[in-house]
Copies of this chain bind each other. A is one copy, B any other.
């Protein structure tokens, strides 16, 4: 191959001129970089549209971050699973929620499109072998404890969103096997049937092959890639298009510093392969970005305990309805409370939380402080005098009536704090992955800063900015990754 002879070969992230390549080592109609959720969906649709598809995957197996994830796919608008379990939902209702929960600055066209296509997308997943069990898990938490197929996964039924749109659970979870041992989690059960489908359709895969550069012809059209396999550069011709599906930039330290510095030192729920390469390569062609600061933030507290207690910041103040989606708690903690958060819970509520079967027993830790009174706890925790006490007094003032007018925690979780109390030090209990990336249109075409598509270049998954701007819901990444992965495959195949 001849990319070595190109004078710019030594400049990483710059496009390689197509006319510098004499012989292509590989070729296909559609070349997909990355074999996670976006890549597999692109490959399936491109193959069904008649294209010869080659996936380049840098590791030695399929799955990406998806196969290690909990497997939530955010779907709604009245999916068969929602209806079977008695939940009403419409695309409009789903859209109203997502615009509130994921904004400000959301891609409104994309959210509307995603909501309108959500039922069809569910059916497509099922048709391609993804199993969903007709069972609902109604407790707050990160994941269902068993193999239930549906759960609230974004605070839909918590304040303030439960007054903005009719609550409906939209976290669709592929049926897990051996949940307790973690052998085949939801993400695995999502990826496995899709990978099987892709390969049954004749999609070929080059493993241990890492995309390095894009090849561009004289008209500015992307016509291939240069990749590295076993230390050797290879050239791969893409007759119809290249699909970038290489994941987030959570593990690219300079990018985190430039774009999402709150995540410095705390990548989470991503994989080390998420080095931002797809974003960088497209930036080298003048691609537009969006919401590069946006971050999912996990909060490693047991939601059963959180909902029953109160969360306070370094001033002893509450800041969030404790019964909401824990990812929202994480964002509020990391982005607004300097990552300084404590849980305060009385003995009775603590005991109640321990007796509930929850999804996250591994989040259970012993209390950092235990005291007979709130005043004593406040002092032990080193909070300013009267700060925690006044917070508890206000909380209790309303809790007797079963209400929380400050943050709107639901009555079922509200009870006056009394008797012995415990404090849990949850400072730094956060980690996350990045949500920003390439701006794409509804056909998953990568947009240039001019607003025009870059010819021959498509992208989906967490190397793109999907439906999220600042907020997050569990299932948004596997959701928009799979949805716009399909679009990328369709558009590339007919390019």
> Contact between A390 and B384 (Cβ–Cβ < 8 Å)?
no
> Contact between B284 and A406 (Cβ–Cβ < 8 Å)?
no
> Contact between B290 and A105 (Cβ–Cβ < 8 Å)?
no
**Distance of A387 Cα from B104 Cα, bound (Å):** 28
When distances are taken between beta carbons in the complex, the residues of chain B under 8 Å from A448 are: 13-14, 284
Of A27-35, A259-267, A302-310, the one with at least 4 CB within 8 A of chain B: A259-267
**Is A133 part of the contact surface with B, judged by Cβ < 8 Å?**
no
> Contact between A397 and B386 (Cβ–Cβ < 8 Å)?
yes
Contacts A258-B289, A385-B405 aside, 4 further interface pairs with beta carbons under 8 A come to A105-B264, A284-B450, A385-B397, A390-B393
**Distance of A439 Cα from B386 Cα, bound (Å):** 46
When distances are taken between beta carbons in the complex, the residues of chain B under 8 Å from A259 are: 289-292
Q: Which residue of chain B is the closest to A391 with respect to CB atoms?
A: B390
When distances are taken between beta carbons in the complex, the residues of chain B under 8 Å from A11 are: 450, 452
When distances are taken between beta carbons in the complex, the residues of chain B under 8 Å from A407 are: 315
Among A14, A316, A317, the one with the most B-chain Cβ atoms within 10 Å of its Cβ is A317
> Contact between A285 and B283 (Cβ–Cβ < 8 Å)?
no
> Contact between B283 and A13 (Cβ–Cβ < 8 Å)?
no
**Is A461 part of the contact surface with B, judged by Cβ < 8 Å?**
no
**Distance of A2 Cα from B234 Cα, bound (Å):** 39
A-B contact pairs, 14 of them (CB 8 A): A14-B286, A104-B261, A105-B256, A105-B261, A258-B289, A258-B465, A259-B289, A315-B318, A315-B407, A316-B406, A336-B336, A384-B398, A386-B394, A386-B397
**Distance of A8 Cα from B259 Cα, bound (Å):** 31
**Is A12 part of the contact surface with B, judged by Cβ < 8 Å?**
yes
**Is A293 part of the contact surface with B, judged by Cβ < 8 Å?**
yes
Chain A residues with a Cβ under 8 A of chain B? 8, 11-14, 103-105, 220, 256-259, 261-262, 264, 280, 283-286, 288-293, 315-318, 335-336, 384-387, 390-391, 393-394, 397-398, 405-407, 439, 448-450, 452, 465, 469-470
> Contact between B288 and A286 (Cβ–Cβ < 8 Å)?
no
> Contact between B258 and A450 (Cβ–Cβ < 8 Å)?
no
Q: A293-B293, A469-B261 are in contact. Are A283 and B449 (CB under 8 A)?
A: yes
When distances are taken between beta carbons in the complex, the residues of chain B under 8 Å from A13 are: 286, 448-450
**Distance of A148 Cα from B178 Cα, bound (Å):** 72
When distances are taken between beta carbons in the complex, the residues of chain B under 8 Å from A393 are: 386, 390
> Contact between B292 and A12 (Cβ–Cβ < 8 Å)?
no
When distances are taken between beta carbons in the complex, the residues of chain B under 8 Å from A405 are: 384-385, 387
When distances are taken between beta carbons in the complex, the residues of chain B under 8 Å from A14 are: 220, 286, 448, 450
When distances are taken between beta carbons in the complex, the residues of chain B under 8 Å from A469 are: 261
When distances are taken between beta carbons in the complex, the residues of chain B under 8 Å from A256 are: 105
**Distance of A398 Cα from B280 Cα, bound (Å):** 53
When distances are taken between beta carbons in the complex, the residues of chain B under 8 Å from A316 are: 406
> Contact between A283 and B288 (Cβ–Cβ < 8 Å)?
yes
Q: Smallest CB–CB gap between A150 and chain B, Å?
A: 31
When distances are taken between beta carbons in the complex, the residues of chain B under 8 Å from A465 are: 258
> Contact between A104 and B390 (Cβ–Cβ < 8 Å)?
no
**Distance of A329 Cα from B380 Cα, bound (Å):** 30
When distances are taken between beta carbons in the complex, the residues of chain B under 8 Å from A439 are: 258
When distances are taken between beta carbons in the complex, the residues of chain B under 8 Å from A384 are: 394, 398, 405-406
**Distance of A397 Cα from B385 Cα, bound (Å):** 8
When distances are taken between beta carbons in the complex, the residues of chain B under 8 Å from A12 are: 450
Among A257, A259, A286, A406, the one with the most B-chain Cβ atoms within 10 Å of its Cβ is A286
**Distance of A341 Cα from B397 Cα, bound (Å):** 24
When distances are taken between beta carbons in the complex, the residues of chain B under 8 Å from A283 are: 283, 286, 288, 449
Q: Smallest CB–CB gap between A153 and chain B, Å?
A: 23
> Contact between B288 and A258 (Cβ–Cβ < 8 Å)?
yes
**Distance of A386 Cα from B393 Cα, bound (Å):** 9
When distances are taken between beta carbons in the complex, the residues of chain B under 8 Å from A394 are: 384, 386-387, 390
Q: Which residue of chain B is the closest to A254 with respect to CB atoms?
A: B451
